[in-house]
Amino acid sequence: VILDPRFKVDPTAGPVSDKLYGGFIEHLGRCIYGGLVDNPAAPSPAELLISQEDGTERTKGRAPWRKDVQKVLASDGELEIPMMRWPGGNYVSNYHWQDGVGPQALRPARIELAWLGTPETNQFGTDEFIDMCRANGWEPYICLNMGSGTYEEALAWVEYCNGTGNTHWANLRRKNTGRDEPHNVKYWGLGNEMWGPWQVGNLGATAYATEARRWAHGLKLVDPTIKLVSCGETGWSDWDREILQALVPFIDLHSIHFYSMLGHSTDSDVAGYEYEKNVFGPAAAERAIEITKSLIDLANIDNTFRGIPARDVKIAFDEWNVWDTDKAPGEIGLEQIYDYTDMLGVVAWLNILVRHHKDVAVACLAQSVNVIAPLMTTPDGICRQTTFWPLKMFGKYMKNGHLITLPSMPDAYDGPSYPVFIQQTNLAPRYVDMVCMAAEEEGKTSIRLSVLNRHPTVDWPADIDFAAFKLDKVQVTEVYSDDLAATNTFAHPESVTPTTTEYTAVEWAARKHIVRKHSWQFIIFE
Ligand code: AHR
């Protein structure tokens, strides 16, 4: 493999954006209550006072912030998350934002219809979310309730957040926050998974398109600077085709969701751990991105014939992850204990998102804490799951640079996969999967290379020549485990962690480097 500055891909495409590493917090299980803030039902008044030490006003209610968690999730924290999607997910389709603003003691508890029908206390609402975004450097991304919510409520929510005039909802925000400045929320989702029969108020594609177009018109009148995200499905569905045909002139991004492995964990047998499906399953996301991009192009072509100008609509992959309910104890399979194989699956995902950064403007890992998340909590502490490590390396290093073309790898996987159509293409995933980026920082070049060897039994002799870049040293961070089922738990928090080794350029040139079977390396040349 030869890395050469002449192989830079499309320098006009813009650098790889940090928005590929967005997060998602939903009012679901222990994500918000227990994860981001203390469970309002749990702490004693004395504990509330201790949690208020950071001095911010919004923590003075019944749901104090968990600073240990935010230290990890902040844009300048370990995971460097730049953007946060909220409040759902399925939850949003029965969420009425006015329940979650104003004095916390007066907020109504409501029945939550998306999941277990548990009461929602509304102690964490719009102003708490925005304050948390500000404190952690997250760009807020709010999803609107198109299930039980009304058009009028949606217009009012945008005015509440972004209004600067002397108007009712903007003034209510001023009263509630004690500040004049708007929340300035740029990203707004037009509903969540409205195609799904489980979604409160789910709609057919034609009905959704008509409604979403009406909402888009009004929302952009309230604030023309917002970016609207249409509700897509997987990207390869007829829903996506119809929605894009109807909405491309009115939207800025199109959302797609996909969880590799979801519900397909019992019918394979590699050491009992579903190895192939897990590490090759994300290939479906690559097809999803390519197909969505084509559907956007097609809608633009059709519109052009009708005299409607083309729009540069991007993809928001705003729910993605490896998810296997069998590895998640509990009623609805939310708190997945991620194992070593899942970590390899997450690397496959990250390689894909970076490879397609030109089309994917936003991606949000679902979710950020406790619920299918890289970070778990107890009231007393946190645990970094296996999947934490690639997220950390990509979030820190794989941004603000231009892609370098790599040769295509020879050995393709042709075994079972989900969805099956992946097998029907000539784009079968390779055993060795890589993505590479060159970054310039303070006048210095550095190359960042993610190498995933998915072969279950064969090491890859990685002959990587970076001499053309004239750099001095190489840092190899490897995550490897012999045990595909190894997990990090509160009892054993460091079963799967990275190790880092450094070489001079001279040592590297003389070295026979190996990327071991079923392992991942993140290599920095600088
Ligand atoms: O992230 C968990 C759930 O998965 C979300 O609420 C929903 O949008 C998706 O089906």
Which residues contact residue 192 at a Cβ distance below 8 angstroms, ignoring those fewer than 6 apart?
88, 89, 90, 92, 93, 143, 146, 199, 231
What's the 334 CA to ligand 1 centre distance in angstroms? 10
The C-alpha angle 352, 276, 515, rounded to 5 degrees, equals 65
Helix (H, G, I), strand (E, B) or coil at 170: helix
Mean pLDDT along residues 121-132: 94
Of 157, 124, 423, 457, nearest in space to 287 by CA: 423
Highest mean pLDDT among 43-52, 278-287, 319-328, 489-498 belongs to 489-498
Helix (H, G, I), strand (E, B) or coil at 446: strand
Q: Residue 265: its pLDDT value, please?
A: 44
What's the 398 CA to ligand 1 centre distance in angstroms? 26
Of 255, 366, 284, 368, nearest in space to 320 by CA: 366
Confidence of residue 120 (pLDDT cuts 50, 70, 90): very high
Distance CA 274, CA 322 (A): 12
**Mean pLDDT of all residues in the chain?**
91
Q: Quick check: 97 pLDDT over 50? A: yes
Mean pLDDT along residues 374-379: 94
Highest mean pLDDT among 78-82, 117-121, 325-329 belongs to 78-82
Mean pLDDT along residues 57-71: 66
Mutate to test the pocket of ligand 1, among 25, 26, 334, 372 (most ligand atoms within 8 A of CB): 26
Mutate to test the pocket of ligand 1, among 25, 84, 193, 324 (most ligand atoms within 8 A of CB): 193
Distance CA 272, CA 383 (A): 25
What's the 90 CA to ligand 1 centre distance in angstroms? 6
CB 483 within 8 A of CB 462: no
Provide the sign of the torsion angle of the four alpha carbons 350, 318, 134, 129, taken in this order: negative
Of 413, 415, 424, nearest in space to 454 by CA: 413
Q: Whose CA is nearest to atom 9 of ligand 1?
A: 89
Kindly report, residue by residue over 505-518, the tens digit of the pLDDT. 999 999 999 999 99
List domains and CATH numbers for the chain.
Answer: 15-37+83-132+140-399 (3.20.20.80), 420-525 (2.60.40.1180)
* Residues of the chain above pLDDT 90, percent: 78
Q: Residue 45: its pLDDT value, please?
A: 39
Kindly report, residue by residue over 133-189, the tens digit of the pLDDT. 999 999 999 999 999 999 999 999 999 999 999 999 999 999 999 999 999 999 999
**Higher-scoring residue by pLDDT: 20, 65:** 20
Q: Which helix (H) or strand (E) holds 440?
A: strand 432-441
Alpha-carbon distances, residue 207 vs 146, 252, 431 (angstroms): 12, 20, 43
Mean pLDDT along residues 373-382: 93
Mean pLDDT along residues 84-113: 95
Confidence of residue 419 (pLDDT cuts 50, 70, 90): low
Closest-lying ligand 1 atom to the alpha carbon of residue 26: 6
Among 73-87, 269-283, 486-500, where is mean pLDDT lowest? 269-283
CB 118 within 8 A of CB 62: no
What's the 366 CA to ligand 1 centre distance in angstroms? 8
Identify residue 142 by its one-letter amino acid code: I
Among 273-277, 324-328, 456-460, 505-509, where is mean pLDDT lowest? 273-277
What's the 92 CA to ligand 1 centre distance in angstroms? 10
DSSP-assigned letter for residue 452: E
Q: Quick check: 418 pLDDT over 80? A: no
Q: Quick check: 90 pLDDT over 60? A: yes
Mean pLDDT along residues 62-75: 85
Judge if the beta carbon of residue 192 lies within 6 A of ligand 1.
yes
Q: Whose CA is nearest to atom 3 of ligand 1?
A: 89
Mean pLDDT along residues 280-307: 95
Q: Residue 4: its pLDDT value, please?
A: 87
The C-alpha angle 100, 106, 111, rounded to 5 degrees, equals 55
Kindly report, residue by residue over 440-487, the tens digit of the pLDDT. 988 899 999 999 999 999 999 999 999 999 999 999 999 999 999 999
Q: Where are the beta strands (DSSP E) in 292-404?
A: 314-322, 360-365, 375-378, 381-384, 401-403
Judge if the beta carbon of residue 193 lies within 6 A of ligand 1.
yes
Among 21-35, 88-102, 407-421, where is mean pLDDT lowest? 407-421
Kindly report, residue by residue over 34-56, the tens digit of the pLDDT. 999 976 554 433 344 434 344 44
What's the 465 CA to ligand 1 centre distance in angstroms? 43
CB 482 within 8 A of CB 456: no
Distance CA 137, CA 74 (A): 6
What's the 498 CA to ligand 1 centre distance in angstroms? 30
Q: Quick check: 108 pLDDT over 80? A: yes
Closest-lying ligand 1 atom to the alpha carbon of residue 196: 10
Of 140, 137, 142, nearest in space to 80 by CA: 137
Confidence of residue 98 (pLDDT cuts 50, 70, 90): very high
Q: Which helix (H) or strand (E) holds 501?
A: strand 499-504
The β-bridge relationship of strands 139-143 and 119-120 is unpaired
Among 3-7, 95-99, 129-133, 443-447, where is mean pLDDT lowest? 3-7
What's the 351 CA to ligand 1 centre distance in angstroms? 22
Among 76-85, 94-103, 319-328, where is mean pLDDT lowest? 319-328
Residue that is written with structure tokens 């952690």 in the block: 136
- The answer to whether the peptide bond before residue 410 is cis (omega within 30 degrees of 0) is no
Phi-psi region of 5 (alpha: psi -120 to 50; beta: other; left: phi over 0): alpha
Q: Residue 504: its pLDDT value, please?
A: 97
Q: Residue 269: its pLDDT value, please?
A: 42
The β-bridge relationship of strands 375-378 and 381-384 is antiparallel
State the CB neighbour count (10 A cutoff) for residue 161: 26
DSSP-assigned letter for residue 423: G
Kindly report, residue by residue over 178-205, the tens digit of the pLDDT. 999 999 999 999 999 999 999 999 999 9
Which residues does residue 22 pair with via DSSP β-bridges, in sequence order?
364
Helix (H, G, I), strand (E, B) or coil at 310: coil
DSSP-assigned letter for residue 8: B
